[in-house]
Amino acid sequence: QSTKLTPNFYKTTCPNVESIVRSAVQKKFQQTFVTAPATLRLFFHDCFVRGCDASILLATGNGNAEKDHPDDISLAGDGFDTVIKAKAAVDSNPQCRNKVSCADILALATRDVVQLTGGPFYTVELGRRDGRISTKASVQRQLPGPNFKLDQLNSMFARHGLSQTDMIALSGAHTIGFAHCGRFSKRIFNFSPRNTIDPTLNFRYALQLRQMCPRNVDPRIAINMDPTTPRTFDNAYYKNLQQGMGLFTSDQVLFSDPRSRGTVNLFASSNAAFHNAFVAAITKLGRVGILTGKQGEIRRDCTRPN
Ligand code: HEM
Ligand SMILES: [Ca+2]
Ligand SMILES: [Ca+2]
């Protein structure tokens, strides 16, 4: 892992970057809650494709950018908008103008939305540079799918130096935000020839899901991923898993597979244990594939290479 990032990176070039980003994110969050889950998911999708280099923000205009891939198309626009607004706020300060990378702004905004929804505050390492490349093809097989089992999840996260514990802690991000019905419809309607409903799914919850997401529902309908505290960044996600109330196979498998169940039980029993593990894991996630020093650039416009 690179240790080239440092929390004080902008100490002389933009000493107030953290407060500038925080107020922009706070303002956006007051306008719409989606700011939080959208920004958090955006950071994850950025880091898993070409590293945390803000490649996800680039728009090529020809439908061939990273963000045009089917796995990224459901990224909510409010996450992109959050970074654009925070970047504008940073650049409106003459001292900071074109000094702070879009990748670092996304990392800071992510920390801020976690805190704004009741999650832990943590120090963000800085010094990432922005990438210049964004292609649809680069996303292929880089992001986990909602039907993944434990081994698939572990091997995908391990590729980026993330352990099973990191993976379980990061999955806790599903404690806030929304999912479209099609992502889990198989689990409630045609799971297998033997069971129409996934037997690892809580039966009452499955019936509720069927009500919210009937067959042939408008594909734009999205529901809360955490049925208990959908707007709070807490360990309810793990308590839900203990009740069979994980929305995706990739969520529920963390409890149904005995190799990960112990960690789920630990996080369910202690919000502090979850918060600590999440901070460690998201800090590691923030180091994945980073560009530093003279690599990449400080993008002037987060949606286009300079
Ligand atoms: C472990 C494997 C993971 C899988 C299979 C997965 C899959 C998904 C899927 C399918 C959705 C719903 C998208 C939609 O229907 O619109 C979603 C939403 C979300 N994911 Fe994940 N995800 C994973 C890990 C993560 C991680 C590591 C993070 C962040 C640290 C994250 C953050 C989110 C958030 C916040 C949302 C809600 C987005 C919104 O409300 O706009 N996920 N995820
Ligand atoms: Ca990236
Ligand atoms: Ca929650």
Residue 137 located in a structural domain = yes
DSSP type of residue 193: S
| Active-site residue identified among 45, 69, 160, 275 | 45
Distances (CA, A) of 241 to 44, 175, 177, 260: 22, 11, 16, 12
Ligand 1 in contact with 171 (CB < 6 A)? yes
Cα gap 230→206, rounded to integer Å: 17
39 and 161 Cβ atoms separated by less than 8 Å: no
- Taking the CA atoms of residue 234, residue 239, residue 240 and residue 243 in that order, the dihedral angle to the nearest 10 degrees is -170
Catalytic-residue membership of 69:
no
* pLDDT at residue 1 is higher than 50: no
**180 and 123 within one domain:** no
What's the pTM value of the predicted model, to 2 decimals? 0.98
The enclosing domain of 127 has a CATH number of 1.10.520.10
Q: What are 129-183's pLDDT values in tens digits?
A: 999 999 999 999 999 999 999 999 999 999 999 999 999 999 999 999 999 999 9
The enclosing domain of 251 has a CATH number of 1.10.420.10
**27 and 136 within one domain:** yes
User: Ligand 1 center to residue 11 CA distance, Å?
Assistant: 33
User: Ligand 3 center to residue 136 CA distance, Å?
Assistant: 32
**277 and 164 within one domain:** yes
Measure CA 217 to chain center: 26
Ligand 1 in contact with 180 (CB < 6 A)? yes
* Structural domain ending residue among the three candidates 111, 142, 173: 142
Residue 73 located in a structural domain = yes
* Structural domain ending residue among the three candidates 101, 119, 142: 142
**210 and 242 within one domain:** yes
User: Ligand 1 center to residue 87 CA distance, Å?
Assistant: 24
49 is in an annotated binding site: yes
User: Ligand 2 center to residue 75 CA distance, Å?
Assistant: 14
Percentage helix, strand, coil for the chain under 3-state DSSP, each rounded to 5? 50, 5, 45
Q: Which atom of ligand 1 is nearest to the CA of 37?
A: 35
Cα gap 254→11, rounded to integer Å: 41
pLDDT band at 2 (very low <50, low <70, confident <90, very high): very low
* pLDDT at residue 3 is higher than 90: no
Average pLDDT of 111-137? 98
**154 and 53 within one domain:** no
Ligand 1 in contact with 146 (CB < 6 A)? yes
**101 and 62 within one domain:** yes
Counting the structural domains of the chain, the total is 2
Instruction: Specify the residue for token string 């649809």.
Output: 136
Question: What was the ipTM of the complex prediction?
Answer: 0.99
- H helices present in the chain, as ranges: 17-31, 35-48, 77-91, 102-116, 150-158, 164-171, 185-189, 203-212, 236-242, 249-256, 258-269, 271-285
**130 and 169 within one domain:** no
Spell out the residues 6+ positions from residue 97 whose beta carbon is closer than 8 angstroms to its own.
90, 91
Residue ranges making up the domain that contains 100: 17-142
Ligand 1 in contact with 184 (CB < 6 A)? no
Residue 298 located in a structural domain = no
> Rounded to 5 degrees, what are φ and ψ at 179?
-135, 145
Ligand nearest to the CA of 51: 2
Name which of 22-26, 58-62, 114-118, 301-305 the model is least confident about: 58-62
234 is in an annotated binding site: yes
